[in-house]
Amino acid sequence: MEHLSEFVTNHWMLVTAFCVLLGLVVASTITTATGIPPQEAVSMINREGAVVIDIRNAADFKAGHIIDAVNFPLADLAQAGDKLKKYADKPLIVCCTSGNLAGQAARELKSQGIARAFALRGGIGAWRAENLPVAAG
């Protein structure tokens, strides 16, 4: 244990960098792990009437989105709480391009009082990778 404290003292910058990187890896893992995979999303849509909230911009949404998805760009999501209250009794599945922003958006919806908000793990890219249906327009 004496050697560890000596190492930390002599190499404090290296230890600090290691701790920061470790924290980023843990945070990334936690954020990614909280999402639901596309097949579970399909099950929620079919069995519970879940509503898909697509947070991509309008152009990306028109290029291809999950069937019956509702488009609320991420920038407008903070003010969308009242509009989304009509879906409060159903699960909401938040979708983005790659799944990176969906977790943040799901947390925002939960803070607005929507208890059952989930992020689609991997986003629309994972949805397409599993050959699930996509609508355009």
pTM assigned to the model: 0.74
What Å distances lie between residue 82 and 25, 57, 68, 79, 109, CA to CA? 35, 20, 20, 7, 11
Domain boundaries, the chain: 2-32, 35-135
State the angle between helix axes of 102-111 and 12-33 in degrees (0 to 180), rounded to the nearest 10.
70
**Which residues sit opposite 51 in a β-bridge?**
92
Render pLDDT for 30-70 as a digit per residue (tens, 0 to 9): 554 468 999 999 999 999 999 999 999 999 999 999 999 99
Which option is the CATH number for 35-135: 3.40.50.1000, 3.40.250.10, 3.10.129.10, 3.30.160.150? 3.40.250.10
Render pLDDT for 67-79 as a digit per residue (tens, 0 to 9): 999 998 988 887 7
Q: What is the rounded CA–CA span in Å between residue 131 and residue 70?
A: 20
Q: Choosing from 50, 69, 94, 96, which is the catalytic residue?
A: 96
CB atoms closer than 10 angstroms to residue 5: 9
Residue 96 annotated in active site: yes
